[in-house]
Chain A
Amino acid sequence: MEDDAPVIYGLEFQARALTAQTAETDAIRFLVGTQSLKFDNQIHIIDFDDENNIINKNVLLHQAGEIWHIGASPADKAVLTTCYNKTSDSRVVSCAAVWRMPCDWETGSHESPDDSAHNPQTLELLCHLDDSTHGNAACVLWEPMGDGKRVISLADNHALLWDLQESSTQATVSSTATLEGKGQLKFTSGKWSPHHNCGQLATANDTAIRGWDLRTMSQIYCIENAHGQLVRDLDFNPNRQYYLASCGDDCKVKFWDVRNVQEPVKTLEEHSHWVWSVRYNHSHDQLVLTASSDSRLILSNMVSISSEPFGHLVDDEELSEGEDSHQEDKSKEPLKDSVVSTYEEHEDSVYAAEWSSADPWLFASLSYDGRLVINRVPRALKYRILL
């Protein structure tokens, strides 16, 4: 079957922002935000029909400005946040806002799927996450697995924890943390840890990674010089609470145990240019996706530092023999860490990659030229992990 063939979707505009629709667990759905200075920016809702290998798209207008970051609410399918640039009076300002999709966006697409681009509906603004005193927003993070009431926005050197009230139409800053030091410090990226009762946050600024305790809004650890150059992105291992992956301009992907920040647990050097995004698979944390400006997307199988270092591997013949194979599994050597595959469908820098929230074996990647590629984990690997 040509099941493993990638599915490619082209956007008309350049794009950097990609997210899976986190609250949607049935349909495979991704949200892409475009970047255009001249035209109205759009949010493309990409539906992937797994059965037929077909993509359905819906377009919503995001007139506020070009989108740099997009985040979907974990609780409400229709709610999302964006960070966008607003240009006014030859000034460029970065803002963040919470939006609601119009409730009938789906029906609209059914009526006239071909015209959806021409007659797009507009996002409904719920509230701004702006605090002019705190500078330009870099990204907005939803509380993982939360009820969609709490978000953190990173703006320059501040981390702001917002409470969304009255169906997200009001946002108030409940606490802030400020990074202080010499020079102009600026958060580039961050991640809200799903562990410790969602009480921790990790941020990246320049070459350092910092951990924050959200209860006290104080720094709990700091990995100085985590990468030789800028740290571009980080992600928490969904199953191992102290494990953290980071990537950056030194072309490396590093895996950290935040209890011991002197040395990375593991370092990958597969990319030939900056790595912009790193993502753990939500269910099988040995699968790690990295996107780089060398136009490549790499899927790695980091078994040795995953939560299942011995795998669930059972050979075919053993499977037929029944249950007694379990004990043999234990004695098996850990599987080797390896690059599963390198995806070269992109022609331009890949700035974002995301796993689907509905299908753990499916992921999307977005390159600057507006090309979205949907790929699957190779079947052989999938079965090896599952069986």
Chain B
Amino acid sequence: MEGEVDGLVPEDPGRRRRVHGMLKLYYGLNNEGKDPEQSESLDPCDINGPHFDPEVYLNKLRRERSLAELMDEETCMVKQIRSLDSDMQTLVYENYNKFISATDTIRKMKNDFKKMEDEMDCLSANMAAITDFSARISGTLQDQHAQITKLSGVHTLLRKLQFLFELPARLNKCLELQAYAQAVSSHRRARCVLQQYSHLPSFKGIQDDCHAIMDKLAQELRQKFRDGGSSAKDLSECVELLLQLDEPAEELCDKFLSHARSRLESDLQSLEAEIRPYSSTSSVKDASARRQSTAAAGSPSDTSPKMSSLPSPNTDILEFIDRGCNEFVSSLCLVITSYQELFINHAQTGELASKNIPQMANGKLHAFVDDLAVRYFSIVERRIQEEKGVGDNSLLVRALDRFHRRLQAVAKLLPGSAVPNQGTEIVIRAATERVKQYLSALQSFYMDSLTDVRQALATPRLSVGASVTGGGTHLGGPVSSRDAPTSLPELLSSLSASILNQIKSVLASVHLFTAKDITFSNKPYFKGEFCSQGVRESLVVSFIRFVCHSSRQFCESGGDKGGSTPPALLLLLSRLCLDYETSTISYILTLTDEQFLVQHHSPVTPVTTLCAEAREAAQKLLNHYVKVQGLIISQMLRKSVETRDWVNTIEPRNVRAVMKRVVEDTTSIDVQVGLLYEEGVRKAHSSDSSKRTFSVYSSSRQQARYAASYTPSAPMDTNLLSNIHKLFSERIDIFSSVEFNKVSVMTGIIKISLKTFLECVRLRTFGRYGLQQIQVDCHYLQMYLWRFVSDENLVHFLLDEIVGSSAHRCLDPAPMEQSVIEVICERG
């Protein structure tokens, strides 16, 4: 009702709402409570509120308003009441017609429903009649229906029976036509029935017939399977059928694999046969030529025919690997694919999947592949091991690359297989082995070059005596053959250059392992460990170590007599090591690091350590050189002192020849050392040392010492002066380390020689002329040796000691006049 009111009053919503609200109030429909005004207006003075109390309102108005206001209020209220009344009237008019029409409608409906009721009754009566009829009809048709059903059942049964009876013949026919699939499906359909009714003799007969035929069929299938010549598709069909015939899958797998194995093994055998007759060092050229020709002739990927392989004795490694890849690996891949096709992928789709066949088959396949791969790897490895010549690394690298690459195919086919990893390991081993071979090749190269150098040193050369500076020229005697092998520096530079070249070429060869186009070069091993541990450490560093070590061995094993190693070689090696220390090592290592972009994960030998080793070796060699040369001169001096009868010698007229020899040798050593080492620093010479004839020797100090020892009255003072002198002079280490320069080396050699002279003199007893001879000899040495040493006082001191000692050991010490000595020495 209210809705209608709403619809019919198209007034502005505000007013309508209010009107509506008031009407509602009026009719007591206060259940909505939506209007905020209503809930708020508890004020009894609110004329619109529900709790309006006219009395209170009037009292309030009267109390609060003036008369005029009251009057106004009254008119206003009257106005409002009037408008409300008119509103009410309007509403009543508006709705009156609707009420009327509604009443009419209801009345009409009442009449219609009555009519309808009658019709419905009629309908239900009709329906009852129909049901009755229908029941009667079905009752009459019942019997016929049952008969028809029975008949159709018999018909089906008969058809089945016919199928069964015809089955053997049909199967036979299939067999004849080789329609195996049809036969199998037919048999499968009949199988259960026959099984079920096998107690009936006729069925039994049929079953037996069928079995016989199916056995034959299975036999034939197996035969076909075994022949294996058939195409993969046939084979797969075969296997599928056999599986359907309840042939055990495991057995089939085994058969398949063993069949494949026999073929693969023949491949392996032919490979193996190739290794055996391999004679290791025979013509590589020939082999590579053959490789070229085979590569040209047959496409290498051609897999189907087993290359008519009479094992050729000298296949090179690349050819060998090629064959291995083409025959073995590709057949293996084929086997894997077809096997997977047959037993794994196929089985997964069919009902066979439930029998865990894929897993089983997979396991078998892995075992099979692993087994064969192991054999293959062992053959390959044996072949690789035979690859000893370090001539052409690229061949090996390419072979390994191919080997590795082909294994990737297996990896793709058999994701979980360990085969590719094993293959990578083989490659790694081969690479490591290669590095080792290169190291030993480098080492033997080094030793060979040393032998060459040794020979070059040993072969007598045209002496360059004429150009020898200083002492050599005036000696008159033939300049010794040890003198200045023309080209010590040349030898050194050629030696060091050839070693460096060799290292470079080896590095280049080894670098092939990490070339970008090689598949295995991106393996972490080849990126990291191979570079740092393999190449840097075990090749380059080891070689440098070897150089140092072998150099040191020259010092130790060379025999203390210094016979076995020519001193010049010692000197040369020492310079070589020193050069290594200063530049070559860091150069080589930088080169290596650059070429191989080594990222050092593990600690590597730092350059400084190697340099220190090289320096140590250089030092040892130089010390040993000094020692050996010193000993050679010492030996001369010692023999000369020991073999002479110094008591009964004649008055000296000449410098003894051995002294000349000493000076000669010293000069030639000086030249030799000068070729390789810098001059070095000497202490400032006294002004007169540049003159050939200087007279430090006859200094007053020396004279005083003689005097003291000749005066019989002062036996206690004999040693006093010399002791005091020694107190103030530095202690001399005879066999001490030398510095890397010529002066230091020469000082060392002269020290050793003179000290020997001194000790020998002290063991002898001298006559007057013996002493004088020593005086002459010492003066002669003095004249020539000072120029070689860093501190000429050292020579003075040692010679003083010699003369002093011989004076002590003299029975009749009457020294020779200094002037006479000088004259004798001048005369030479």
Query: Using a CB–CB distance below 8 Å, which chain A residues touch chain B?
Result: 12-14, 36-39, 85, 87, 90-92, 225, 227-229, 250-251, 272-274, 293-295, 344, 347-349, 368-370
Contacts and interface: CB of A to CB of B under 8 A. Distances in A.
Contacts of B712: 38-39
Given A85-B765, A92-B647, A349-B759, A273 B734 contact: yes
B735 A251 contact: yes
Contact of A295 (B731, B765, B808): B731
B708 to A, nearest CB: 12
B182 interface: no
Contacts of A225: 560
A228 B716 contact: no
Nearest to A349: B759
B75 interface: no
Nearest to B736: A272
A370 B759 contact: no
A347 B734 contact: no
Interface in B720-742: 722-723, 726-727, 731, 733-736
A14 B808 contact: yes
B279 interface: no
Interface of B: 559-561, 631, 647-648, 712, 715-716, 718-719, 722-723, 726-727, 731, 733-736, 755, 759, 762, 765, 767, 808-811
Given A90-B648, A229-B631, A344-B731, A13 B726 contact: no
B467 to A, nearest CB: 35
A251 B765 CA distance: 25
Nearest to A12: B716
A37 B647 contact: no
Contacts of B560: 225, 227-229, 250
Contacts, number: 70
A347 B716 contact: no
8 closest A-B pairs by beta carbon, nearest first, are A228-B560, A273-B734, A272-B733, A347-B726, A272-B735, A92-B765, A12-B716, A369-B719
Contacts of B723: 347, 369
Nearest to B735: A272
B808 A90 contact: no
Given A250-B560, A295-B731, A12 B718 contact: yes
A183 B485 CA distance: 34
A205 to B, nearest CB: 14
A37 B759 contact: no
Given A229-B560, A272-B736, A344-B731, 8 more contacts: A37-B808, A37-B811, A91-B648, A229-B561, A273-B733, A368-B762, A369-B719, A369-B723
Contact of A272 (B715, B716, B734): B734
A325 B138 CA distance: 121
> Which of B631, B762, B767, B809 has most A Cβ within 10 Å?
B762
Contacts of B718: 12-14
A37 B810 contact: yes
A369 B733 CA distance: 18
Contact of B755 (A38, A273, A369): A273
A227 B767 CA distance: 33
Contacts of B736: 272
Nearest to B719: A369
Contacts of A14: 718-719, 808
B765 A293 contact: no
Nearest to B724: A347
A229 B808 CA distance: 26
A41 to B, nearest CB: 11
A91 B755 CA distance: 27
A373 to B, nearest CB: 14
B433 to A, nearest CB: 35
Contacts of A369: 719, 722-723, 726
A37 B809 contact: yes
Contacts of A85: 765
12 contacts: A14-B719, A38-B712, A39-B715, A87-B811, A90-B767, A92-B765, A228-B631, A251-B735, A273-B734, A293-B755, A294-B734, A369-B723
B559 A228 contact: yes
Contact of A348 (B647, B726, B733, B765): B726
B759 A274 contact: yes
Contacts of B631: 228-229
Nearest to B809: A37
Contacts of B811: 37, 87, 90
A273 B719 contact: no
B765 A37 contact: yes
Contacts of A91: 647-648
Nearest to B765: A92
A148 to B, nearest CB: 30
A272 to B, nearest CB: 4
A36 B719 CA distance: 12
B720 to A, nearest CB: 10
A273 B129 CA distance: 150
Contacts of A37: 765, 808-811
A294 B726 contact: no
Contact of A347 (B647, B727, B755): B727
Contacts of B767: 90
A90 B722 contact: no
A368 B767 CA distance: 21
A14 B716 CA distance: 11
Nearest to A91: B647
A369 B727 CA distance: 12
B766 to A, nearest CB: 9
Contacts of A36: 715
Contacts of B716: 12
Contact of B715 (A12, A87, A250): A12
A72 to B, nearest CB: 23
A293 B733 CA distance: 10
Contacts of B561: 228-229
A87 B734 CA distance: 33
Contacts of A370: 719
Contacts of B648: 90-91
A369 B762 CA distance: 11
B765 A87 contact: yes
A348 B732 CA distance: 10
B647 A90 contact: yes
B598 to A, nearest CB: 39
A39 B713 CA distance: 11
B466 to A, nearest CB: 36
Nearest to B729: A347
A273 B733 CA distance: 7
Contacts of B734: 272-273, 293-294
Contacts of B765: 37, 85, 87, 92
> Which of A85, A273, A295, A344 has most B Cβ within 10 Å?
A273
B628 to A, nearest CB: 10
A370 B717 CA distance: 12
Contacts of B759: 274, 293, 349
A250 B631 CA distance: 9
> Which of A85, A225, A272 has most B Cβ within 10 Å?
A272
Contacts of B755: 273, 293
Contacts of B762: 349, 368
Contacts of B735: 251, 272-273
Nearest to A368: B762
A344 B809 CA distance: 25
B241 to A, nearest CB: 78
B155 to A, nearest CB: 104
A13 B755 CA distance: 21
A274 to B, nearest CB: 7
Contacts of B731: 294-295, 344
A366 to B, nearest CB: 13
> Which of B647, B718, B719 has most A Cβ within 10 Å?
B719
A54 B397 CA distance: 83
A354 B759 CA distance: 21
Contacts of A274: 759
Contacts of A39: 712, 715
A68 to B, nearest CB: 9
